[in-house]
Structure 1
Amino acid sequence: MGVSQKWFRIVRGRFLRSSNKNIIILPRSNESEEAILSNEDFTFPTPISLVTEEDVAAIKIQAYFRGHLARRAYRALKSLVKLQALVRGVWVRKQSRIAMQCMHALVRLQVRVRARQLLGSFDKEHV
């Protein structure tokens, strides 16, 4: 319970310390940047609406909650990467063990072939 409510206490604390400033939303311009820059009598657009304190509070709550979800997803992703590395490590060790067994079998086969070659040449010389 303590972990799930911790983010809310942080948000609430930030609201109590925040100042009561109004935020002005400017309208989006559909004109290209070149048209705005070339216009000599450029004036700043008038604000569409003033955002109320409740809107600011809602925006901040959403931002903090999205940050909380992003941090939780990042922690889950980190643990998933660690699990993936563990599984890959096990798989690579298994693969290298199989490769070493095959190489050992090839070496034993080569020793047998060389031994037969030597024994065969030794038998031909003494006959």
Structure 2
Amino acid sequence: MARQHRSWLHVLRWKFAKPSSKTIVIHHNNDSENARGLGITPISLEISLSEEDRAAIKIQSVFRGHLARRAFRALRSLVKLQAVVRGVCVRRQARIALHCMNALVRLQIRVRARQLLNTAV
């Protein structure tokens, strides 16, 4: 039990304590003529993060990824359910269309037979 716990902690440490810089630099350059005309200036922002902040960001990103995967699985099952329901609806529409076509064919046969009887007399 203690060995499993230690390996679990080792995995966590390895996952969240990857070497990274302590400074995040964000550059935003928008050099288009429209941006200059609107008075938008390039942004350069430098943020220093502590280890706890970096760990919190990493945990949040992993958790958000987990939530996104779970939502995608739910959406995928919903799409499958929609396909089943649409298949039922399409089969019902096809059955109704075939029934109507059959009725039209029977009516056409009666009309043709009546025309043949009237021309024979």
TM-score with structure 1 length normalisation?
0.66
Q: 1 or 2 for the larger relative contact order (CA 8 Å, sep ≥6)?
A: 1
Which deviates more from structure 2 when the two are superposed, residues 100-109 or residues 11-20?
Answer: 11-20
Q: List 4+ stretches of structure 1 deviating above 4 A.
A: 11-14, 31-34, 45-48
Match of 1:76 in 2: 74
- Structure 1 residues 59, 116: CA separation in 2 closer, same or farther (over 3 Å shift)? same
Residue identity matched to 1:16? R
- 8 Å CA contact 2:24–2:46 kept in 1: the answer is yes
SS in 2 for 1:26: strand
Percent identity among equivalent residues? 56
- How far does residue 28 in structure 1 lie from its aligned partner after superposition? 5.2
Match of 1:62 among 51, 60, 63: 60
- How far does residue 52 in structure 1 lie from its aligned partner after superposition? 1.3
Q: How many residues align?
A: 101
- Distance, in Å, in 1 between the alignment partners of 2:110 and 2:45 is 93
Name structure 1 gaps, 5 residues minimum.
1-10, 35-44
- How far does residue 68 in structure 1 lie from its aligned partner after superposition? 0.3
Match of 1:88 among 86, 89, 95: 86
Match of 1:16 among 13, 17, 23: 13
Computing the radius of gyration from Cα coordinates, the structure with the larger value is: 1
Match of 1:101 in 2: 99
- 8 Å CA contact 2:27–2:45 kept in 1: the answer is no
Deviations 1:58-103 (A, max 9, x none): 0111001000000000001101111111111111111111000000
Residue identity matched to 1:111? I
Residue identity matched to 1:107? V
- Distance, in Å, in 2 between the alignment partners of 1:77 and 1:96 is 28
- How far does residue 118 in structure 1 lie from its aligned partner after superposition? 1.5
* Root-mean-square deviation (Å): 2.7
Residue identity matched to 2:108? Q
- Distance, in Å, in 2 between the alignment partners of 1:99 and 1:13 is 65
